[in-house]
């Protein structure tokens, strides 16, 4: 059984506290993962920041995650983990991304690329959409930028995406499992048995294995003990835990099908998320 780890870092607190905690835990269990970094302004210290209009957010004093946490973020790659980009500003990305124009989307992606190059001195190899919120312009931009792959959506196996008539040759590696927060909101699930529900969810055979998404803000802090219990169970059952890049290298030998993207409700989550849908004819 195989599992890839996708870790989002979206706030200053997640970078300062959650990342070091996760790096120590991953090193302890000799596991490699893929980190998706938001490097721009962090508005999470403001109540209801995810509901504020963009014009108001950008008038507030803020911290830039990449500038303040450069050494910590560089240590991710230094420890042998894969590093890519997510939304430049997590709060901005949460604001009706599906309806955003191409110019706005291109700016967000390019700002993330530029900030990444300042910190790591190289181009990011992959992108992962914050909260599985996307638009067709993002697919175009990922292809233009030349990312090796993206992890923007939920689904069951890697594929080439199409949304609103836009097809991309940038492969999608979807998240296949529910998040711990989604499971935690379901009936009968609590902090003590949360890891058991997630472990049960991945007891199936998928062609390319499972992809589990976690965050420095949750699994790196409050849910760190739950994540450690999962690592113990996976390692004890001889699971192969890997990064998204390990999975991507396998894709180079395969012919990927093209799938339309849709929107779906996920139990335990308020907003709809982008999801792998109907396979299209070649």
Q: Is residue 129 part of a domain?
A: yes
Q: How confident is the model at residue 96 (pLDDT cuts 50, 70, 90)?
A: confident
Q: How many domains does the chain have?
A: 1
pLDDT at residue 49 in the model: 57
CATH assignment at residue 193: 3.20.20.370
Q: Is residue 6 part of a domain?
A: yes
227 neighbors 194 (Cβ within 8 angstroms): no
Residue predicted with more confidence, 52 or 100:
100
CA atoms of 212 and 141, how far apart (whole Å) = 25
Q: Is residue 165 classed exposed, middle or buried when 0-12, 13-18 and 19+ CB atoms within 10 A define those classes? A: exposed
Tokens found for residue 244:
């998204």
pLDDT at residue 53 in the model: 61
What pTM, to 2 d.p., does this model score?
0.94
Q: Is residue 124 part of a domain?
A: yes
197 lies in which domain range?
2-143+175-246
Name the nearest CA neighbour of 57 among 107, 98, 92: 92
Q: What is the pLDDT of residues 56-67, one digit of tens each?
A: 666 767 889 999
CA atoms of 9 and 125, how far apart (whole Å) = 16
- Determine how many CB atoms are found less than 10 A away from the CB of residue 204: 11
Q: What is the pLDDT of residues 227-237, one digit of tens each?
A: 999 999 999 99
Give the percent of the chain with pLDDT over 70.
94
User: How, if at all, do strands 273-279 and 63-64 pair?
Assistant: unpaired
Residue predicted with more confidence, 152 or 53:
152
Q: Is residue 21 part of a domain?
A: yes
Q: Is residue 149 part of a domain?
A: no
Q: How confident is the model at residue 133 (pLDDT cuts 50, 70, 90)?
A: very high
Q: Is residue 277 part of a domain?
A: no
Q: Is residue 33 part of a domain?
A: yes
Q: Is residue 240 part of a domain?
A: yes
Q: Of 50-59, 95-104, 239-248, 253-262, give the lowest mean pLDDT range.
A: 50-59
Does an H or E element contain 279, and which? Answer: strand 273-279
Q: Of 23-27, 30-34, 50-54, 164-168, give the lowest mean pLDDT range.
A: 50-54
């Amino acid at each position: 059984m195989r599992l890839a780890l996708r870790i989002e870092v979206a706030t200053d607190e997640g970078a300062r506290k959650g990342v070091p905690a996760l790096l120590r835990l991953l090193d302890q269990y000799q596991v490699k993962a893929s980190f998706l970094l938001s490097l721009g302004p962090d508005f999470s210290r403001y109540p209801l920041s995810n509901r504020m209009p963009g014009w108001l957010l950008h008038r507030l004093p803020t911290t830039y995650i990449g500038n303040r946490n450069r050494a910590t973020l560089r240590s991710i790659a230094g420890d042998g983990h894969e590093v890519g980009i997510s939304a430049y500003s997590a709060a901005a990305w949460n604001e009706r991304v599906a309806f955003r124009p191409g110019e706005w989307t291109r700016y967000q992606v390019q700002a993330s690329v530029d900030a990444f190059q300042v910190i790591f001195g190289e181009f990011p190899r992959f992108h992962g959409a914050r909260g599985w919120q996307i638009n067709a312009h993002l697919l175009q931009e990922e292809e233009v930028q030349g990312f090796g792959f993206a992890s923007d959506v939920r689904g069951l196996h890697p594929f080439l995406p199409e949304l609103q008539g836009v097809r991309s040759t940038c492969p999608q590696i979807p998240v296949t499992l529910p998040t711990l927060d989604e499971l935690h909101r379901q009936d009968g699930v609590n902090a003590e048995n949360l890891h058991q529900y997630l472990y049960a969810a991945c007891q199936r055979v998928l062609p390319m294995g499972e992809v589990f998404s976690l965050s420095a803000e949750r699994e790196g802090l409050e849910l760190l003990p739950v994540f450690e219990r999962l690592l113990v169970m996976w390692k004890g059952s001889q699971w192969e835990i890997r990064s998204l890049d390990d999975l991507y290298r396998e894709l180079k030998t395969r012919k990927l099908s093209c799938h339309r993207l849709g929107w779906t409700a996920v139990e335990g989550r308020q907003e709809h998320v982008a999801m792998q849908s109907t396979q299209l004819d070649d």
